[in-house]
Amino acid sequence: MKKTTPIDEALVVLFRGQSNVKLMANDVGISLEEMQQAFRDYVAKTPIDPDVWKGDIDISWPYSGN
C-alpha cells in the first residue's frame, strides 16, 4: 500500500478531530491496530492546554439565534 501521509502528520490530524483513525491508517499504509496504538501513544504524550477555549468568543448554533 502506498503511503501518502507521514504518520506524524496523520497523528496531528487525528488529534484535531479532522479525520478518523481508519481513514488515516489507510492513508499512512499501516493497520488499524497500529494506528490506534500510535494515536494512544501520541495522546498520552501531548499535553492539552486547559485555556484553549478561553479565546473562543463566537456564539454558535443554537445560541446565536440563527
Per-residue pLDDT of the chain (66 residues; tens, 9 = 90+): 556 889 999 999 999 889 999 999 999 999 999 999 999 999 999 887 777 666 666 666 666 555
Q: What is the pLDDT at residue 62?
A: 65
pLDDT computed for residue 47 by the predictor: 83
- Measured between alpha carbons, how far is 21 from 36 in angstroms, rounded to an integer? 7
Question: Residue 27 is part of which domain span?
Answer: 7-44
In a domain, 24, yes or no: yes
CB 48 within 8 A of CB 17: no
Q: How many domains is the chain partitioned into structurally?
A: 1
CA separation for the pair 7, 29 (Å, rounded): 9
pLDDT tens track for 13-30:
999 889 999 999 999 999
pTM for this model (two decimals):
0.69
* Domain-located, residue 55: no
The grid cell for 2 is 502506498
